[in-house]
Amino acid sequence: MNLPYLLVIRDKIDIGTTFAVQGENPPVRTWFDGNLTSLSINRLGLIVRTAGLGRDLMTADVAGTEAALRRGGEATTTRRVHRLLDGNDKVVATAYACRIEPIDPVTITLPTGAFQTFLIEETCADAAGRGFQNSYWIDLKTGSLRQSRQWISPEVGTLTLQVLHD
């Protein structure tokens, strides 16, 4: 039986860790690294929750991003909401207006080989103009997310996810 694995790199501190599936509550899989860090990722590969990284993502509403990626990344606008805990353990929701744009076909090289992908970028900003950019490399052969860079929070920064085994 081939089990899926992810290489997750915290870009802010340039440290990578391998994650394996710990559980599944469709449509979300929970991935665990063995060091009390977990990621909850939907079927398409979008992070919807983190734990153990610091100022974690409690939940993320990513339905608009998911729909845009499923349509092949056609240029569109959408909205996402991130919920984080503040210093008083209260959940604070921040809404972001996002632009999804197809970029180009790109060959990426991962530890498991080279893959033909299509790059899609998501550029988001909140009402105060604070923003981030996510990148998604969709495998042209399978249609699955092969690699991504996804922003979590100002403190955690961006995570790069690479699918090591399907």
Give CA torsion, residues 73, 98, 161, 164, to 10 deg.
Answer: -10
What is d(CA 53, CA 11) in angstroms, rounded to the nearest whole number? 12
Q: Low-confidence residues of the chain, pLDDT below 50?
A: 1
For residue 156, the 8-state DSSP code is T
What is d(CA 45, CA 38) in angstroms, rounded to the nearest whole number? 14
Place of tokens 């998911």: 66
pLDDT given for residue 86 in this prediction: 83
pLDDT given for residue 1 in this prediction: 45
pLDDT given for residue 166 in this prediction: 60
Q: Which CATH number is 5-165 given?
A: 2.40.360.10
Produce one character per residue of 133-162: b if its CB has 16 or more CB atoms within 10 Å, e if not.
ebbbbbbeeeeebbbbbbbbbeebebbbbb
pLDDT given for residue 4 in this prediction: 81
